[in-house]
């Protein structure tokens, strides 16, 4: 039996079908079961609760061999306390219950973004210094420290996965929004000439890495999980090719975008609505994320999907849900 947190999130919606296909019995912590009837087709045993409900977490982990802790708060905007409550205190609650229950393996989902601002010209492997630059990143690094403490003090058999920027089916935020949905809506923008390097990972590949990490990898180790890095321009070109939309992108200079983000973020303090371009987005789009997943390839048998193939599968899902480009390119219409 596997206990999963975050089973109804972006990763969870791709992970649970894969776990079920591998023959695993699944128990999931779910806040609002009525909103997720799809779990029934995978015979998921539901424990209603959230990351602050220690009784529900203990109940869920009891009798399980494995725990996958994928739940957390991911936003480009928000208060430090909100992130700490979900990503630090929530991790303490899950790790404590798992250590007490004596589980066989604990897979913790973190993020490569804990690096903060990557050192220019350096490959981002697991030894790269982490200097988180926003509340989300700080909370995720603190969550890693929680897990490491439980490994050394309580013998929790845990490993930490640091995925790159998720994209793929069931996502509408961050990479999916900026590189898929905005351009298909006609918002054709690139920042700083499109020259910066991004670190995408197809969501199905993260799910596959989690499955492998249940049996492979060394306890206490950290593993980057991402595809090959590519520039914004390269990503835009491939997505435009496959979606049949214009290759044109209006160039938004760094200074103009950061100024707009500052104003939008300031206004959000009064409206309470997340800014469309939050200021915290700058560390992701104005840095070169030359991330390496070689360690995961060697020890977790991680094999990333090519970006073009991942784009095709993502666009197939968009078509399934009825999301189509507003204005296909003329050249595409002539094919």
The pLDDT value recorded for residue 329 is: 56
The pLDDT value recorded for residue 326 is: 84
Strands 2-5 and 158-163: unpaired
pLDDT per position as a tens digit, 153-171: 999 999 999 999 999 999 9
- Both tokens of 305, joined, read 């999907």
The pLDDT value recorded for residue 246 is: 94
The pLDDT value recorded for residue 10 is: 97
Contact 118, 289 (CB under 8 A): yes
Contacts 24+ apart (CB under 8 A), 122-129: 122/290, 123/290, 123/291, 123/292, 124/199, 124/224, 124/289, 124/290, 124/291, 124/292, 125/224, 125/291, 125/292, 125/294, 125/295, 126/162, 126/221, 126/222, 126/223, 126/224, 126/295
- Both tokens of 204, joined, read 């199905």
Which stretches of the chain drop beneath a pLDDT of 70?
A: 327-335
CATH of domain 2-171+199-228+290-306: 3.40.50.720
The pLDDT value recorded for residue 328 is: 62
Please give the model's pTM, rounded to 2 decimal places. Answer: 0.95
The pLDDT value recorded for residue 334 is: 39
d(CA 230, CA 248): 18
The pLDDT value recorded for residue 332 is: 45
User: How much of the chain, in percent, has pLDDT values that exceed 70?
Assistant: 97
The pLDDT value recorded for residue 330 is: 44
The pLDDT value recorded for residue 296 is: 98
- Mean pLDDT score of the chain, rounded to an integer? 95
């Amino acid at each position: 039996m596997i206990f999963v947190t975050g089973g109804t999130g972006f990763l969870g919606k791709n992970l649970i079908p894969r776990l079920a296909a591998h023959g695993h019995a699944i128990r999931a912590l779910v806040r609002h079961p009525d909103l997720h009837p799809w779990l029934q087709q995978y015979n998921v045993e539901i424990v209603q609760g959230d990351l602050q409900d220690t009784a529900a977490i203990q109940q869920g982990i009891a009798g399980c061999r494995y725990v996958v802790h994928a739940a957390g708060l991911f936003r480009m905007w928000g208060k430090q306390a909100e992130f700490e409550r979900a990503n630090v205190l929530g991790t303490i609650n899950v790790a404590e219950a798992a250590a007490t229950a004596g589980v066989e393996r604990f897979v913790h989902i973190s993020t490569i973004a804990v690096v903060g601002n990557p050192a220019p010209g350096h490959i981002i492997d697991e030894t790269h210094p982490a200097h988180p630059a926003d509340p989300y990143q700080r909370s995720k690094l603190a969550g890693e420290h929680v897990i490491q403490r439980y490994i050394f003090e309580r013998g929790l058999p845990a490993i930490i996965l640091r995925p790159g920027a998720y994209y793929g089916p069931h996502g509408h935020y961050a990479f999916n929004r900026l590189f898929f949905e905005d351009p298909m809506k006609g918002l054709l923008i690139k920042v700083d000439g499109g020259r910066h390097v991004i670190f995408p990972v197809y969501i199905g590949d993260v799910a596959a890495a989690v499955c492998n990490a249940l049996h492979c990898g060394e306890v206490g180790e950290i593993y980057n999980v991402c595809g090959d890095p590519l520039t914004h321009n390269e990503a835009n070109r491939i997505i435009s090719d496959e979606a049949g939309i214009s290759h044109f992108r209006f160039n938004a200079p760094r200074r103009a975008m950061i100024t707009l983000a500052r104003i939008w973020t300031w206004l959000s303090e009064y409206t309470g609505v997340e800014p469309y371009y939050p200021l915290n987005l700058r560390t992701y789009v104005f840095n070169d994320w030359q991330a390496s997943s070689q360690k995961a390839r060697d020890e977790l048998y991680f094999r990333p999907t090519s970006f073009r193939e991942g784009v095709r599968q993502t666009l197939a899902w968009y078509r399934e849900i009825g999301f189509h480009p507003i204005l296909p390119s003329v050249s595409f219409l002539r094919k």
